[in-house]
Amino acid sequence: MTHGDFLSALPAERRAALTARHPGQGLWHLALHGGAILLTGAAIATAIPGWPLLLPVQGVLIVFLFTLQHECTHKTPFASDRLCDWVGAIVGALILNPFTWFRYFHFAHHRHTNQPGDPELESPKPRTRAEWLWHVSGLPL
């Protein structure tokens, strides 16, 4: 069963319930995640005892901002499309991944997923450890 077949088989009420965007839920999640980043950052900045143990936690919290940017691309986390665009742009600036560029890149990926033209498949994949290290360094970008 394909994704389209699955969605087509859902009753309209169920599909609407699964895709409903709630005004406060996304904002609540954003506030909690932002608060966790700020609290962890403050604990690191003030060098509380054991602060080095918080560095991986802070890293995970920051990396997961990409998930928010991805969802803002699809306009799913907030009831307002404008808010999705604003939050996506701010998060993109924070993680150095321009939101408009990512939106076009990601939608091109969806149009051609795992097919010729999929931008995620366009660049050659690393074949050696040295190529992999160069790739993950971000320097080629």
pLDDT at residue 21 in the model: 86
pLDDT at residue 20 in the model: 85
> pTM of the entire structure?
0.76
37-94: per-residue pLDDT in tens? 999 999 999 999 999 999 999 999 999 999 999 999 999 999 999 999 999 999 999 9
What is the DSSP code (8-state) at residue 14?
A: H
81-140: per-residue pLDDT in tens? 999 999 999 999 999 999 999 999 888 888 877 778 777 777 778 899 998 888 888 777
17-29: per-residue pLDDT in tens? 888 888 899 999 9
Residue 141 pLDDT class (50, 70, 90 cuts) = low
Residue 130 C-beta-side C-alpha neighbours within 13 Å:
0
pLDDT at residue 138 in the model: 73
Number of neighbouring beta carbons within 10 Å of residue 99? 21
pLDDT at residue 87 in the model: 97
Contact 140, 134 (CB under 8 A): yes
pLDDT at residue 57 in the model: 97
Which tokens belong to 112? 């051609």
